[in-house]
Structure 1
Amino acid sequence: MLTRSVLFAALAFTVFTGCKKDNGAAPQSIKDSTTFARYENHFLEELWKVNPDWATQVGYHKYDSVLIVPSADARDKYVSFAKKQIDSLSRYEIGSLTDAMKIDHHLIENQMQEIQWANQQEKSWEWNPSEYNVIGTFAFILNEKYAPLEKRLRSFYQKMLNIPAYYKEAEKQIKNPVVELTNLAIDQHTGGVSVFENDFADSLKKTDIPKEEKQKMLERAKLSAEAIKGFAAWLKGLKNDHPRSFRLGKDLYQDKFKYDIQSASTPQQVYNSAVERKKYLHREMAKISKQLWPKYFGKEAMPADTLELIGKMIDTLSAKHVRPDEFQSAIAAQIPRLTNFVKDKNLLYIDPTKPLVVRKEPAYMAGVAGASVSSPGPYDKGGNTYYNVGSLAGWPAAKSESYLREYNQYILQILCIHEAIPGHYTQLVYANISPSMIKSILSNGAMIEGWAVYTEQMMLENGFGNNEPEMMLMWYKWNLRSVYNAILDYSVHTGTMTKEQVIKMLTKEAFQQQAEAEGKWKRVSVSSVQLTSYYTGFKEITDLREAYKKKMGDKYKLKDFNEKFLSFGSAPVKYIAELMLKKGGK
């Protein structure tokens, strides 16, 4: 899942505006793609000056040593930066740009509008203490091997200088914070301070940095750790008689959805669509469950209640899973199988020069079993992409059994489709072919997550799993996650759905385990909108495919659709749709 944070900025900067006003005259519109390309490059350089943390995490390391103090002045300068960029964009005649640059124009404009909205309307800097967290970027500098260790440690040391001022300023800005977000911030800072107390010192031991210099670096790390723990203690002791609700509210939700999801639909329309999808899935799951009942239960009476019937069938099938010590090898074994299936069915070109490296989850990422993909930043397109596989070693038997029932032999295959081939990993390879840095940096999460969900369905449509009804039933259960994510997020943040109602809905209707449902409640109470990205993207991509199929008629080929769709990079589906469906386009 990919999300972006609107970060604060307080550096002095020179804003590139694309063209000048001459003696007060109205600016001329620009119809030159070459000029716009230069504007994009300069825009990114100025963005990294005011957003050094973001720069670090996308692989641009010129400003690794800079930490912005999140003051009111910083916000004002950031808003000013955004306004000037919008002024620059308005001078380019968008119709004269290439198709790729049209999307870049939209993405930059949307991001700059979101910066203004976030700082002037949402104002989460007042009520979300978890936004004030320096640890992630420092951990990135420490653990990602993009430069020699000594160079990274010196950047780390220089960046620490502003940590005490950073947290003093944070305490000034916070007003009536959300309880759930306050607790999240306390947990994150308490758990993450070890980066400064232990990890930094351990890394220093591996270098030849002079002893005197090391001592100065350790002293600053100690001051940084004290500032971090002091902020957590301040939050714990904060008197807050009238905290803000974690619910975003309908107006802010609609605005955030517009900027984050960039959908052609409204939040209400997505919610309504998700409700209809839920009904469809329940009907199909009931049909399959009735079909499979005699195979697994013989002449035992079938439950009259449809949801009970489905739940019992899913529970029975979930018993088919690998042993704890086979979890990693089972995931690794899926990659060549998925690759061969995609090739055999001619669904998509898989570049053999861009292999996916399956590895044991690194120690600094440990804590949650399962699987994830780590991709290189936009500035390091040649780097390896890793499929990180967690371990269940040391887990209590009951815990590992519950986990493996959730990721049973059917779901494990679907997980690998989603995360790897032809899901996230494959989409990333295609995105990196695109020369547009803008699409990689301002990537659209709904497109990225939607593609991964879409590929699950596409693979099963083409016979993956040998058309077994058991596999289809389990995919429907998996797809219910995306559907209920959208229903849940909208119902909670624009309505009054309670924790008890959420747990009941997810366990009874979406067939989730109690722990999983409780985890989702926690997630929706500390985030908003992102949970809708999976279903929204999936729905828009499947709708686009049907429209494209109708347009192409007997010339339609699934492989052509998939490759053309991916060729536009990580852009919002609505803009890809405009280009793929335009008159005369192929």
Structure 2
Amino acid sequence: MQIRFLAAFILGASTLATQNADPGQKSNAEFAKLSEQFVHETLALSPASASQAGYHKHVDPKTGKTIALDSQLDDVSPDGIANQRSVYAKWRERFHNETPVASLGAEDAADWHLIDDQIGQSLLEFDHIQNYRHNPTEYVELIGASLFQPLTDDYATEDIRLSDVVSRVQATPRFLDQAKSELLDADPIFIKVAIEENEGNVDLIQETIAAAVSKHPELKQRFDQAAPPAIKALKDFSQWMQNDLAKRKTDRTWRLGKEWYAEKFRLVMETDITPEQVFNEAQSAFDKTRAEMLELAMPLHKQYYPDHDDHATLGQKERENKIISEVLQKIADDHPKRDDLMQTAKDDLVGIRQFIIDKKIVSLKSRDNLKVIATPEFERGIYSVGGFHSAPPLDPNAEAEFWITPIDPKTPEASAESRLREYNNWVLKWLCIHEALPGHYVQAEHANEIQPETRRLVRGLYGNGAYVEGWAEYIAQVMMQQGFANSDPRYRLSYLKVWLRAIGNSILDIRMQTMGMTDDQAMHFMMDEAFQTRAEADGKLQRAKLSSTQLPTYFVGTTEWWRLRKAYEAAKGKDFNLTDFNDRALDEGALPVPWLKDVLLPTR
């Protein structure tokens, strides 16, 4: 009810502004009205996405009927998919014709471009990439997210939210039947991950949801009727993927290829930079970072290995590899026990928060809604180490989650040790900075206070990935510059290893998706040139196949953040203030960083 009231208020305010505005302001008011309608209409097409955004009730403009979105699952039938495509195409035409970008001010123009690029991504998906026909993980993860979100978002009383979950459990067999009708074929990696994640969906219903509804007798009866057919449908879907979908011949693979990759890259990055340019810049930055690592590693190498020489007889790259690897091996000895990952992260966050306050890095909001939890099982295919899940843009007081992926009890000791050494006590500090404080969590907290609400929703839903990932790495570098961890060389070297990995992400993604890089070549690159353990490299190899164009956002975004920072410092001169810059940049939300410069440093 509250969300509908706020939406109605925005529409009313826009109408009033239109009546009393000059032509330029009128265009802005019309754009605000259109963008709100677009967001609500497209969210209503995907109830699972609506729940993620905090949009819970939708009034159908044709019938006037109020739809409780949290109790529904998406329609992924052929008619449902066709309708979605039609809606996006219609809205692109409306925005171009009714509120052309040239008629808008800088803030609204930025939102216009975000929406237009989002529509472009959607149409590229519908018309060419078509994951809905070739990638079953899309369906498996949608089910998991739709069942999980109402459990953690206090948009209503517990009994209402659980009733919504049970309704979605009831709809699961229908949804999976539709998924089967759409899926034509799939690369083996998509099937492998979908089957693994689908086990998490079964567990979510059998364990988590079952335990929650057991406290509500009136819901338990509905759940007991809905759960068995849903679980059967999920298990049947896994068997169908293994016994039918996996055996279908296909020319499609997980590789996008140069043409589709370039177009998706343009729409994701939202800059003029090309994959080829990023690849060349990343190669140069990769070599430079390795040289910095060698400089830091040399004194540590003498300390750790007093009986070793400096390997001067080796070639340059071999010498770098030997010295840096030996030092990193020693640093990696300092790692948590396999059952202590989450508690170690919680402890690290306490010290990180105080450092941010003491050094005045960035303003922290008064909300204390961050929870450190285990990564949901249905997300562990892509989040093999951890991740961040923000509070919905329309419900900023809801729970925000820093996910830590636990080590499965079935994982062999050698594999578990490999992962723990990769995410040792020094690298784990970086992970907490990147995913939580002052990284993704702080960025999301600032973004969730943007006004008007329509702008907050646009920038929250369609925010630029390079801005988001770039902020998390840029601010980690700021923390290091400010002396985090007492400027300990072990932390600094560990961070440079992480940054080398971020640079390598761009090289890896572009080579794998467009240049035919093999699995063996990828593993050699990650392990022998980027100093990653086998466990980390295995996870990244899978991720590169599942998430084309996402991996370069770290390097591209960080580079753009530093360009903006230097331009802002030059403009402010002696009046530059670190907290002020970081706050102002975050308070605009996830705009492409080059556009952000136009907002923070207008030329007129």
Per mean C-alpha deviation after superposition, the further-off stretch among 393-402 and 116-125 is 393-402
Structure 1 position 253 matched with structure 2 position 269: no
Secondary structure at the counterpart of residue 186 of structure 2: coil
Change (3 A) 1:410 1:200: closer
Structure 1 position 275 matched with structure 2 position 283: yes
Aligned to 2:353: 339
TM (normalized to structure 2)? 0.84
Give the Cα–Cα distance (whole angstroms) in 2 for the partners of residues 416 and 161 of structure 1: 38
C-alpha deviation, 1:372, in angstroms:
4.6
Structure 1 position 165 matched with structure 2 position 174: yes
1:385 alignment partner AA: A
Aligned to 2:495: 475
Per-residue CA deviations over 1:199-257 (Å, capped at 9, x if unaligned) read 444333210307xxx54543333222222222222221223233522111111111111
Q: 1:76 aligns with which of 51, 70, 82?
A: 82
Q: 1:56 aligns with which of 51, 60, 66?
A: 51
Per mean C-alpha deviation after superposition, the further-off stretch among 404-413 and 323-332 is 323-332
Structure 1 position 514 matched with structure 2 position 534: yes
Per-residue CA deviations over 1:483-519 (Å, capped at 9, x if unaligned) read 1111111100001111111111111111111121112
Per-residue CA deviations over 1:112-171 (Å, capped at 9, x if unaligned) read 122222111222222212222352134225622523333223323433454333333322
Count of residues in Structure 1 that have an aligned counterpart in Structure 2: 555
Does structure 2 conserve the Cα–Cα contact (< 8 Å) formed by 1:356 and 1:385? yes
Q: 1:266 aligns with which of 268, 271, 274?
A: 274
Aligned to 2:92: 86
1:343 alignment partner AA: I
Does structure 1 conserve the Cα–Cα contact (< 8 Å) formed by 2:137 and 2:191? yes
Does structure 2 conserve the Cα–Cα contact (< 8 Å) formed by 1:318 and 1:406? yes
C-alpha deviation, 1:568, in angstroms:
1.1
C-alpha deviation, 1:532, in angstroms:
1.4
Change (3 A) 1:137 1:322: closer
Give the Cα–Cα distance (whole angstroms) in 2 for the partners of residues 61 and 37 of structure 1: 20
Aligned to 1:538: 558
Structure 1 position 319 matched with structure 2 position 333: yes
Please list, as runs of the form range in 1=range in 2, the aligned pairs for 1:541-552 lying within 5 A after superposition: 541-552=561-572
Change (3 A) 1:457 1:121: same
Secondary structure at the counterpart of residue 132 of structure 1: helix
Q: 1:355 aligns with which of 350, 364, 368?
A: 368
Does structure 1 conserve the Cα–Cα contact (< 8 Å) formed by 2:278 and 2:556? yes
Aligned to 1:67: 73
Give the Cα–Cα distance (whole angstroms) in 2 for the partners of residues 427 and 383 of structure 1: 16
Please list, as runs of the form range in 1=range in 2, the aligned pairs for 1:138-287 lying within 5 A after superposition: 138-141=146-149, 143-146=151-154, 147-209=156-218, 214-238=220-244, 239-287=247-295
Secondary structure at the counterpart of residue 288 of structure 2: helix
Structure 1 residue runs without a partner (length 5+) = 1-17, 20-27
Change (3 A) 1:425 1:194: closer
Does structure 1 conserve the Cα–Cα contact (< 8 Å) formed by 2:54 and 2:395? yes
Does structure 2 conserve the Cα–Cα contact (< 8 Å) formed by 1:378 and 1:437? yes
Give the Cα–Cα distance (whole angstroms) in 1 for the partners of residues 86 and 483 of structure 2: 54
Aligned to 1:425: 441
Structure 1 position 404 matched with structure 2 position 412: no
Secondary structure at the counterpart of residue 527 of structure 2: helix
2:356 alignment partner AA: V
Q: 2:116 aligns with which of 109, 132, 137?
A: 109
Per mean C-alpha deviation after superposition, the further-off stretch among 546-555 and 361-370 is 361-370
C-alpha deviation, 1:576, in angstroms:
0.8
Does structure 2 conserve the Cα–Cα contact (< 8 Å) formed by 1:366 and 1:390? no
Give the Cα–Cα distance (whole angstroms) in 2 for the partners of residues 514 and 340 of structure 1: 34
2:427 alignment partner AA: I
Give the Cα–Cα distance (whole angstroms) in 1 for the partners of residues 420 and 414 of structure 2: 10
Secondary structure at the counterpart of residue 438 of structure 2: coil
Give the Cα–Cα distance (whole angstroms) in 2 for the partners of residues 366 and 244 of structure 1: 24
Change (3 A) 1:403 1:180: closer
Give the Cα–Cα distance (whole angstroms) in 1 for the partners of residues 253 and 379 of structure 2: 32
Aligned to 1:526: 546
Give the Cα–Cα distance (whole angstroms) in 1 for the partners of residues 475 and 517 of structure 2: 31
Q: 1:557 aligns with which of 577, 580, 584?
A: 577
Secondary structure at the counterpart of residue 32 of structure 1: helix
Does structure 2 conserve the Cα–Cα contact (< 8 Å) formed by 1:502 and 1:521? yes
Please list, as runs of the form range in 1=range in 2, the aligned pairs for 1:23-34 lying within 5 A after superposition: 31-34=26-29
Per mean C-alpha deviation after superposition, the further-off stretch among 522-531 and 137-146 is 137-146
Aligned to 1:123: 130
Structure 2 residue runs without a partner (length 5+) = 1-13, 16-22, 58-68
Give the Cα–Cα distance (whole angstroms) in 2 for the partners of residues 414 and 312 of structure 1: 21
1:355 alignment partner AA: D
Question: What is the percent sequence identity of the aligned residues?
Answer: 29
Aligned to 1:4: none
Give the Cα–Cα distance (whole angstroms) in 1 for the partners of residues 339 and 43 of structure 2: 44
Does structure 2 conserve the Cα–Cα contact (< 8 Å) formed by 1:142 and 1:200? no
Give the Cα–Cα distance (whole angstroms) in 2 for the partners of residues 328 and 202 of structure 1: 23
TM (normalized to structure 1)? 0.86
Aligned to 2:66: none
1:422 alignment partner AA: P
Per-residue CA deviations over 1:366-405 (Å, capped at 9, x if unaligned) read 9899665443111211234344566679787655544432
Change (3 A) 1:235 1:156: same
C-alpha deviation, 1:275, in angstroms:
0.9
C-alpha deviation, 1:540, in angstroms:
1.1
Per mean C-alpha deviation after superposition, the further-off stretch among 489-498 and 112-121 is 112-121
Structure 1 position 377 matched with structure 2 position 372: no
Per mean C-alpha deviation after superposition, the further-off stretch among 377-386 and 429-438 is 377-386
Q: 2:32 aligns with which of 34, 37, 41?
A: 37
Give the Cα–Cα distance (whole angstroms) in 2 for the partners of residues 296 and 448 of structure 1: 38
Give the Cα–Cα distance (whole angstroms) in 2 for the partners of residues 66 and 346 of structure 1: 45
Per-residue CA deviations over 1:422-477 (Å, capped at 9, x if unaligned) read 21121122111212221112222221111011111111112223333332211110
Does structure 2 conserve the Cα–Cα contact (< 8 Å) formed by 1:369 and 1:392? no
Give the Cα–Cα distance (whole angstroms) in 2 for the partners of residues 409 and 188 of structure 1: 28
Does structure 2 conserve the Cα–Cα contact (< 8 Å) formed by 1:135 and 1:195? no
Give the Cα–Cα distance (whole angstroms) in 2 for the partners of residues 169 and 366 of structure 1: 22
Change (3 A) 1:145 1:461: closer
Secondary structure at the counterpart of residue 193 of structure 1: helix
C-alpha deviation, 1:54, in angstroms:
0.5
Aligned to 2:304: 296
Aligned to 1:438: 458
Give the Cα–Cα distance (whole angstroms) in 1 for the partners of residues 348 and 139 of structure 2: 40
Change (3 A) 1:190 1:356: closer
Change (3 A) 1:371 1:112: closer
